[in-house]
Structure 1
């Protein structure tokens, strides 16, 4: 009887692990995106990366429909979308950046704040600066609260601070016209 269990237990563990891995393989990654929509923006208290003495909270998003764009200088796709986002800013669309630094690690250190600020200044002066404010998500906890899986990601926040759209990937002319602009206009007109 013991020999049977020595065979059955590893088999059960193998089958359970296979089912678990296959469920992840065939799950829809957009499900998380849908979960993030139509809920209040999680509360936060974050500093402006360029002016750390200035602190902001979720009231920053009350009163106007705003794009919240998660980005970093290390992100190649973010660099590609900066010129287009700058065009949107020039059209009067308010955009707040949520700066996500990949190289900060609580155990191993990383870049200093002046280093990060210098890199941001260089990139934005070269590619365009679409941001009214750049919030600094130093420990990435707010990105996790938002359900961010990487960068770039863009949210539409309505006048009451409710997330109305969560877009994963870059914002370009096609994405803006077909996906983001209709939702943005809908909430501007409300």
Structure 2
């Protein structure tokens, strides 16, 4: 019995060491989302551009990216040119202006261009909370029925588009499941 008590600290140390060692190889930008495979949350908010009311059905009909952004977000400014290029190429992108000032958002879009087909104003962060948003930028891929198929946390640049999102987006366009 005494040997078990002596071995216990060693076993605990080895177990903790294995957990920490495994953590070295995890990607910190990959955050699991419980919403994958679930419908995009219902909401009743307004449009950034003209304050018209928007609901979930504004996002339905075609596969799309839903990009969470804000004028206060430095990384969002960095990813914005990529979003513009994708929109020009025909990729459907909806925006969620997260915890932001409406006037600042309108000025941002006038100055930098507007890649969003629909741009939802979420000044209180209620939709972001329902989506489990950690911060901006975050981008969701939804299918034509509004089911969330993928989530990317961080800047959406050309490499992320090419390696992660484009194949999944294309699969949705052709009717496959990503």
TM-score range, shorter chain: 0.7 to 0.9
Moved more, 87-96 or 116-125: 116-125
* Residue in 1 that maps onto 2:160: 175
Contact 2:29/2:154, CA 8 A, preserved across alignment: no
User: Paired residue for 2:89, among 88, 91, 111?
Assistant: 91
Asked if 1:65 is matched to 2:50, the reply is no
Contact 1:32/1:147, CA 8 A, preserved across alignment: no
Task: Quote the Cα distance in structure 2 between the aligned partners of 1:141 and 1:119.
Answer: 19
Asked if 1:39 is matched to 2:38, the reply is yes
* Residue in 1 that maps onto 2:77: 79
Asked if 1:155 is matched to 2:155, the reply is no
Task: Quote the Cα distance in structure 2 between the aligned partners of 1:142 and 1:117.
Answer: 16
* Residue in 1 that maps onto 2:5: none
* Residue in 2 that maps onto 1:164: 149
User: Structure 1 regions of 5+ residues with no counterpart?
Assistant: 1-21, 103-115
Contact 1:33/1:167, CA 8 A, preserved across alignment: no
Task: Quote the Cα distance in structure 2 between the aligned partners of 1:138 and 1:119.
Answer: 12
Moved more, 65-74 or 138-147: 138-147
Q: Which structure is higher in helix share? A: 1
Per the alignment, in what secondary structure is the counterpart of residue 33 of structure 1? Answer: coil
**TM-score after normalising by structure 2:** 0.78
**TM-score after normalising by structure 1:** 0.73
Return the offset for 1:34: 3.7
Return the offset for 1:32: 5.0
* Residue in 2 that maps onto 1:51: 50
Inter-CA distance 125–49: structure 2 relative to 1 (3 Å threshold): closer
Task: Quote the Cα distance in structure 2 between the aligned partners of 1:58 and 1:51.
Answer: 17
* Alignment root-mean-square deviation, CA: 2.3
Q: How does 1:112-151 map to 2 (within 5 A)?
A: 116-151=101-136
Contact 1:68/1:96, CA 8 A, preserved across alignment: yes
Moved more, 84-93 or 133-142: 133-142
Question: What is the number of equivalent residue pairs in this alignment?
Answer: 154
* Residue in 1 that maps onto 2:10: none
Contact 1:61/1:161, CA 8 A, preserved across alignment: yes
